[in-house]
Amino acid sequence: MHLTGFRTAVRLAAVLAGVLALPGLAGAQGFTEEMIFQPIETVITAGRTKQRIERAPATVTVISAEEIRASGAMNIPELLRLVPGLDVTTVSSSHFEVNARGLNQILSNKLLVLIDGRSAYFDFFGGVIWPALQIIIDQIDRIEVVRSPSSALYGANAFSGVINIITKSPRQINGTTVTVRGGEQGSIYSSLVHGRRHGDTSVRFALGGRQMGSFDNPDRKFENNILGNIYLAHRFSADRMLSVEAGLINGTVNQKVRLLDNDFKATTSYAKVNYEHGNFSLQSFWNHGNETGDPFFSKTDGAEILYNTFDLEAQQTLELANKHTLVVGSSYRYNTIKSNLTGPEHRQNLLAAYLQEEYRPIPEVSLLGGMRVDHHPLVGTNFSPRASLIYAPTGRHTFRTSVGRAFRNPAFTESYFDLRVPSAFPGAPKFAVVGKTNLKSEKITTYEFGYTYFPRHFFRAEFNFFFYSFNDYIGVDSLDYNPASARLEQSYANAGSASNHGFELALDVLPASWVKLSANYSFQNLTNNYTALEKQLPAKHKLNFKSFFNLPYNLSCYLAVSRVSKSVWEVPTSKGLYEAVEATSNTRLDTRLAWETLQRKAELFVAGYNLLNRGYREYPRGETIQRRITTGCRITF
């Protein structure tokens, strides 16, 4: 792996660290343990119940609100790219693909994304349009990233893991925060977040907008959205609460679909109700979207998509004696899709039930077993088990081993797609992309071993090894001539299998109260027997370095360096086939410098993205990623 660019970036980081380590900085404001080491907190995503992170049954990384603010990121994928084991691909300034441990692809559909427990993926193709999430970065409390198959608790789309974006409560906000920033590539970001508690009633609302120009042509707007959401909660007693919330986003976003940059105009919204009484919880939500987009092929109609998702889920946690904790739950999901790309309106009823038990025979040992049963109208029933053994002989060492099975159901596009392309010239055959209703679910089995060393609050080390194999991958089938319709047809098939093994190493160091240093390295080696050419391969090596500094005179500094080795993508051609194209290795340097004033009620900042301005492509048919410098201010009152 060619490291010249990475060494240059590291030297810059070392010089800055050396300058900032001068004795005069001893008076800088210090970090708190909560800001530095998430292990002293609890997580909820890995086991659907509050657990100390070292006792979680899966590999979990937490991105805190302090790290989110310090990073200067303008979107969520920029935060996720520094998580070990995650593959984040920047296709353009508005198009990102995110997945875990080598399973990334265009229209990635194997990672479940939640916002406060509400699934946010787009049922039409089963993935996430990241700029279309109805959430503002300034209202995020933390992001919990589970890098393990989690169908045993979450069902179909938790194939490679779960990302749960958890927002701040009104009590945490306790006032109003206004942020405005702008800069290169036509970047404009603004937000207003307000939260307040009035007795037993709490209210929070957020308004915002984001505009982003193309890297290659900043005058062309690739993203232009306005959004808002509101949350209202009332606590009837110490253990009983009801909350309602709703949100909406409206605007345009550009996504790479096959060979074209497609503009999509959409209004998507949601409404959610949660009821909690002791260890019982009930959640119901409705996702709605109305979207139009450019044609996927020339001479075809533009895309029109109207969808609704209604979801109802109940969960009960039971303490059985002192050594057993049982989590049981069930869910019902109703989907409707109406689109000119899938023919008549299609509807699906999905049913599921799950349970997980934790048994602690002695304080140092936890045994966790879980399972979930899901029913889908086309593929039938899927059974997803998971088991974990956690051993913590002392407060400093934690060992974890686990095995789990997960699945992904066919998306609406894979089952019902019906896109017909006219003849390219007189006499030429017509072409169509059609779905299949007899596809099987994709299945994955993963084995993991993890070790955490946490001697004191100034040092933490974590090592995770994994191996997985999956089969029944749903991919594009070969192009065949159908005499009945007198056209060439390309459909979907359960095309193949793959296996992958690797490890992730992460270190956090607190050498002084005013500085935190973090580094992580990920390695993976995937064997591909599933894509069209069986040549697509993820980056084998990823290396990230982050540093946070609290400095005198109310200054703070963030610096991040990331290095990703080469990858190989199978990209479509104008003839309807695929070719393997390499994306070269790349190094990126991001930074943010901020100054607080007015008794820390106001902050002025400047942020640099890809500061070395090394133009590169993470996806061969995507944009050349350029430098972006933005500046702005944040005021709290």
- Give pLDDT tens digits for 426-464: 666 677 888 999 999 999 999 999 999 988 778 899 999
Cβ-based neighbours of 572, under 8 Å, separated by 6 or more: 258, 259, 578
* 3-state secondary structure at position 50: coil
**Number of other CB atoms surrounding residue 244 within 10 Å:** 14
Q: Which DSSP state fits 199?
A: T
**Three-state secondary structure call for residue 4:** helix
Beta-carbon neighbour count of residue 501 at 10 Å?
17
Structure confidence at residue 164 (pLDDT): 96
Mean pLDDT for the stretch of residues 95-115: 93
- Residue pLDDT, tens place only, 398-429: 999 999 999 999 999 999 998 887 766 666 66
β-partners of residue 541 are 523
| Helix or strand holding residue 5 (H, E) | helix 4-20
DSSP reduced 3-state for 428: coil
Distance CA 340, CA 474 (A): 22
- Cα 233 to Cα 169: distance, rounded to the nearest angstrom: 10
> What per-residue confidence (pLDDT) applies to 426?
64
**φ, ψ (nearest 5 deg) of residue 61:** -125, 140
Of 138, 309, 134, whose CA–CA distance to 230 is shortest? 134
**Distance between CA atoms of residues 515 and 374, nearest Å:** 47
Selection from 476, 349, 347 nearest residue 419 by Cα = 476
Chain Cα centroid distance, residue 250: 21
Structure tokens at 93: 């300034």
- Average pLDDT along the chain: 89
Report the 10 Å Cβ neighbour count for 347: 11
- Give residue-wise pLDDT tens across range 33-89: 444 454 456 889 988 888 888 888 888 999 999 999 999 999 999 999 999 999 999
Confidence of residue 19 (pLDDT cuts 50, 70, 90): very low
pLDDT > 80? residue 111: yes
pLDDT tens profile 264-293: 999 999 999 999 999 999 999 999 999 999
The half-sphere exposure of 276 on its side-chain side, counting CA atoms within 13 A, is: 12
**CA gap 383, 386 in Å, rounded:** 10
CA distance 65 to 63: 7
Highest mean pLDDT among 28-37, 48-57, 192-201, 300-309: 192-201
3-state secondary structure of 20: helix
Question: What is the phi/psi pair of residue 427, to 5°?
Answer: 90, -15
Query: Cα separation of 389 and 362, whole Å?
Result: 13
pLDDT at 485: 72
| pLDDT at residue 23 in the model | 45
Please tell me the chain's helix, strand, coil percentages from 3-state DSSP, rounded to the nearest 5: 10, 60, 30
Say whether pLDDT at 375 is over 90.
yes
State yes or no: pLDDT of 608 exceeds 90: yes
| 313-324 exposure pattern, b = at least 16 Cβ within 10 A, e = fewer | bebbbeeeeeee
Quick one: CA dihedral 411, 415, 416, 421, positive or negative?
A: positive
DSSP classification of residue 436: -
Q: What kind and span of H or E run contains 465?
A: strand 459-482
The reported pLDDT for the residue numbered 38 is 47
pLDDT value of residue 15: 45
CA–CA gap between residue 167 and residue 65 (Å, rounded): 9
Q: Quick one: pLDDT at residue 425?
A: 61
Give CA–CA dist 560/517, Å, rounded: 10
How far apart CA 605 and CA 181 sit, in angstroms, is 9
Tokens of residue 316, six digits: 């009960």
pLDDT of residue 259: 80
**Domains of the chain, each with CATH number or no CATH:** 4-628 (2.40.170.20)
3-state class (DSSP) for residue 34:
helix
DSSP letter string over 237-297? ETTEEEEEEEEEEEEEEEEEETTEEEEEEEEEEEEEEEEEETTEEEEEEEEEEEEEE--SS
Nearest to 60 by CA among 180, 142, 122: 142
What is residue 25's predicted lDDT score, i.e. its pLDDT?
Answer: 46
Place of tokens 């990102």: 96
Residues contacting 176, CB < 8 A, separation 6+ = 192, 193, 194, 636, 637
Count how many Cα atoms sit within 13 Å of the Cα of residue 148 in the half-sphere of its side chain: 33
Residue 6, pLDDT score: 52
Q: How confident is the model at residue 4 (pLDDT cuts 50, 70, 90)?
A: low
Report pLDDT digits (tens) over 245-271: 999 999 999 998 878 889 999 999 999
- Determine the Cα–Cα distance for residues 569 and 295; give it in Å rounded to an integer: 23
| pLDDT band at 24; cut points 50, 70, 90 | very low
Q: Could you tell me the two tokens for 263?
A: 């503009």
